[in-house]
Amino acid sequence: MSSADDRGNVNGRAGRRNGGTTVKEFIQKVQSCQPSLNDSLEGEIQAFLFKEDLLHTYDDLTKVNPVTPTTVLKCLQARYNVRVFYTHAGCTLVALNPFQPIPDLYSLDVMKEYHCAPQPQEFKPHIFIVAEEAYRNVQSQLAPVNQSLVVSGESGAGKTWTSRCLMKYYATVAASSSLVKSQDTVERIERRVLDSNPIMEAFGNACTLRNNNSSRFGKYIQLQLDRFQLLVGASVQTYLLEKTRVACQPANERNFHIFYQMMKGATEEQRKEWKMPHEQHFMWLPNAEKTIEEDCFHETLKAMIHLGINTERQRQIFQVLAGILQLGNVNFSSLTDESKPCDLEEQSKDFLQRAAELLCVPADELHTCLRVMTLKAGKQSVLKPCTQAECSMRRDCLAKVIYAQLFEWLVTLINNSICADSSTWCNFIGVLDVYGFECFQVNNLEQLCINYANEKLQQHFVAHYLRAQQDEYVSEGLQWSFVKYQDNQSCLDLIEGSPISVFSLLNEESRLNRASDAKTLRVRLEKELSDNANISWDKFSKVPHFTVAHYAGKVSYQIQGMVEKNKDPVPPELISLLQKSNNSLLHQLFTDKETEIPTTKGLSKVTVVSKFKNSLERLMMILHSTTPHYTRCIKPNPDCQPLTFKKEEVIMQLEACGIVETIHISAAGFPIRIPFRSFMQRYGLILKDPRFKSASHCADLEAGGNMLRQEVEKLLRMVLQHHVLNSRCHINEKHNSWAHCGRTKVFLTQSMLDLLEEQRKKIQSQCAFTIQCCWLRYQRCRRHARRQSATLIQAVVRSWLVRKQVQRWNRAAAVIQNTWRKWRALLKSLAEAELDDAKDFVEDDMPAVNPVIRERGSVQLSHIQEPVTVRGWPMGLALASAPSITMSLTATGFQKVMSVMASLNLPSRRGEYKVKTNQCTQELASIRAQPKGSVKLHCQRSPLLYADRQPDLKREVTGFNEILLEKTL
């Protein structure tokens, strides 16, 4: 299909949603401030769309030229086809829902990559860039320090998933340090913050026609950070739970997730306790056979445990929910006699009994409260039988009030579990996830409040960006022609204005003590609000309704039942019954609840509209006091099909949420606004480059108050001159409009920013090359010096080792020589002693025994006049003596005695020994000795090498210190 055909199809659908304004008319309206482009606009669009292979490379839609719904749509479609789901649009991030899991897109490694990046904006567009920008704003402590992340879009566009990713990101990067708290505490906070999501989604989300996990309530989650920017807690604020879904589900939609989780995840024991057999069918659980990803009962139970909900409290919660389901099967029969209360259908009696047992209330009292109304007339009470419709309404009211109170109790419990003390946190990052814009076949008060909330958020976006940015141009002294944008202030005046508006008339009608009439209210709305162009009526319709032209399109609201829903009456007898419940949780929920009884002072009663409006006003005050960050979620197709892009569906959302106007203001004006000081800190290095110094003909700056601005102007002029010289062109009017210096900021177009970044990268590359050269030269010189030093050290060490080795050899040789000489002398002395006769031995004067030797041990021979010392260890001596020798051993000290005895293994008995003169054949003997008597000495192993204390007598003996004279005879 050609581009023209595509544009024609888109125009028809968009014209119907915006009151007849086509895309072509929209283009002409947007470009009316630039008449020079009108003639060639269509040609430029065709030329831009001709480059289809490059359309997916535009990661920021402000780079698109020209900016039209068609070009923006084509770029988003091209990026979606290559599975790129995030795109920048000025200050807004556009997120396209892929309708299928993309795990690698949100992994922990991707989080760390964006968190640790010096400039995350230089990375591909991602929701983590928005999260990191908000986190760094808190770290920089620039006012306003607190941040708000506003996630908006239609139902099914992916707001809940985006909010979940943001919470996971902060729970990861802001709780990853344990500088202040222990790691267990940090992990507990992170787990509880993340576990609040499954519970909130189970009790507050439902499967609708547009989304399997649609949030049926609004929530604003404040992630609390301490002075170290660490996550220490969180708090949850909720807005307008769609409690009517408990008792009334639209066609082909489901009830809240928690009921289906109970049906599909309960055990047999739990089913028996909750009185929910497999074959039972519940009227309030349509499409129970449909299974979706959110039907995960065990994850909900696990999250409850982590948040401190014990088993007993869980049992009470599920009993109450099972009782609500049993109430849905209670039906009443119609009677002709209005003076009598309605009877239960026969099959409903069992259901009523089960509901009473599960809610722990008396069955007869529950039966009476559902069928009989208590009216007060002064101090008297009057019982009035209810009709079949009134009985069904009271049954539904009982179920809705129980579920609403249970949901509020869960929110309070979650806040008590995850909220930090006010003294421990100082800043917060808020994540806003509200219902998307809704337009069904039948729209009532819930859709009016939901669309009103979206109108307020759209106004906040318009006031903060579209209007504020253009006002900033004027305050900074720029010549700016204002771009028209869609302002929804008139629609808000219609809904919430004072003194007359839709809300005020609804409240007034609700506070009157009378039955409401839809036709009367329609006539009054038409009379009071006919001057507002945003409201209209179909006079030919039989159903009373009114149509409001919202920023996202026209929606018709049915008036029938709107006043009753705004009153939200709760019969006091039902509250009294629940206060008597034996279920401690149910009793706690309604003990402190004030009973709303209609009185003559009904004007002071709080209605649903007034309560929601007040809570929304408090939310807007928080948003206005923080720095907002916008994420626009786009639903690419109405059927939630994976990777399916419907151009008609997307272009309606782009125009409805003001994306095209946002892009056009950013692209046609100056999307980049940088304070002078920050600009010079980033690009001041360009002035120091020699090329720019030579090209500059400006004088040195004079000191004064405008010095910083003059530096900025000088830098911009130098960059432009350098660009012109390189491109060999002249500075024209187009170049002059690339940048403008205001009073405090410099305003840049994307082209000028790209030029500055290009010059900055070139200078940085040259500086980096110079640094690398110097570093490499330094490294080479250092390696050369280290190599020379290592060579010198090795030579010195080798010479020292050689000298030490030679010295060791010399010392060893000297020791060996001395030992050898001593051994030779010892052998010589022993040989000389063996040649002596016994007479000579007796007659010779024996030298005095050394006291030390005497103390260590000696052997005395009794037949010898003088004691002869025998060295016991390490070598024994063979002495010449008489055949019969009496030996006595003297030694002091037990250890010394044992040492001598171990060395001389002398026999313990006396005996005669015969010595043969020729003993050369009988083991070892001295052939030179001529002993007359002999003593056999046994030497045991000594520490010396080859020593043997107890040698084997039959083996050859080797060694220098072993002596064996002869065997014992």
Let me know if 666 is a catalytic residue.
no
Catalytic choice (155, 196, 583, 934): 155
Let me know if 182 is a catalytic residue.
no
Please tell me whether 158 is known to bind a ligand.
yes
Please tell me whether 156 is known to bind a ligand.
yes
Catalytic choice (214, 238, 566, 934): 214
Task: Say how many residues make up the chain.
Answer: 969
3-state secondary structure of 372: strand
Let me know if 205 is a catalytic residue.
no
CB 196 within 8 Å of CB 236:
yes
3-state secondary structure of 653: helix
CA–CA separation, 303 and 197 (whole Å): 9
Please state the φ and ψ torsions of residue 740, each to the nearest 5 degrees: -150, 135
**Which residues are bridge partners to 519 per DSSP?**
none
Burial class (CB in 10 A: 0-12, 13-18, 19+), 554: middle
Tokens in use for 398? 């009982």
CA–CA separation, 935 and 926 (whole Å): 13
Let me know if 706 is a catalytic residue.
no
CA–CA separation, 508 and 501 (whole Å): 11
Which residues touch 196 (CB under 8 Å, ≥6 apart)? 221, 234, 236, 303, 307, 414, 417, 418
Q: At what angle do helices 659-668 and 69-81 cross, to 10 degrees?
A: 110
Closest residue by Cα to residue 257 from 211, 317, 204? 204
Tokens in use for 248? 């009334």
Let me know if 829 is a catalytic residue.
no
CB 427 within 8 Å of CB 232:
no
Rg, Å, the chain Cα set: 51
Strands (E), 551-706: 553-558, 627-634, 672-675
Helix, strand, coil % (nearest 5) of the chain? 50, 10, 40
Let me know if 215 is a catalytic residue.
yes
Side chain identity, residue 244? T
3-state secondary structure of 82: coil
Let me know if 162 is a catalytic residue.
no
CA–CA separation, 777 and 930 (whole Å): 91
CB 661 within 8 Å of CB 483:
yes
CB 533 within 8 Å of CB 542:
no
Q: Is the backbone of residue 431 left (phi > 0), alpha (psi -120 to 50) or beta?
A: beta
Please tell me whether 749 is known to bind a ligand.
no
Which residues touch 313 (CB under 8 Å, ≥6 apart)? 585
Let me know if 214 is a catalytic residue.
yes
DSSP string, 183-195: HHHHHHHHHHHHH
Please state the φ and ψ torsions of residue 303, each to the nearest 5 degrees: -65, -40
Side chain identity, residue 246? V
Catalytic choice (190, 294, 438, 962): 438
CA–CA separation, 510 and 611 (whole Å): 13
3-state secondary structure of 19: coil
| C-alpha dist (Å) from residue 565 to 403, 509, 912 | 16, 12, 136
Which residues touch 24 (CB under 8 Å, ≥6 apart)? 7, 11
Catalytic choice (90, 436, 872, 876): 436
3-state secondary structure of 287: coil
Closest residue by Cα to residue 933 from 886, 870, 871? 886
| C-alpha dist (Å) from residue 928 to 115, 394, 833, 834, 836 | 100, 138, 10, 7, 10
Please tell me whether 154 is known to bind a ligand.
yes
Catalytic choice (62, 160, 626, 627): 160
Q: How many CA atoms lie within 13 A of 544 on its CB side?
A: 16
Locate all alpha helices (DSSP H) within 232-280, ordered by sequence. Answer: 257-265, 268-274
Burial class (CB in 10 A: 0-12, 13-18, 19+), 753: middle
Please tell me whether 159 is known to bind a ligand.
yes
Pairing of strands 745-748, 86-89: unpaired
CA–CA separation, 75 and 52 (whole Å): 9
User: Which residue ranges make up the annotated binding site for ATP?
Assistant: 153-160
User: Which residue ranges make up the annotated binding site?
Assistant: 153-160
What amino acid positions are annotated as catalytic residues?
Answer: 155-156, 160, 211, 214-215, 436, 438
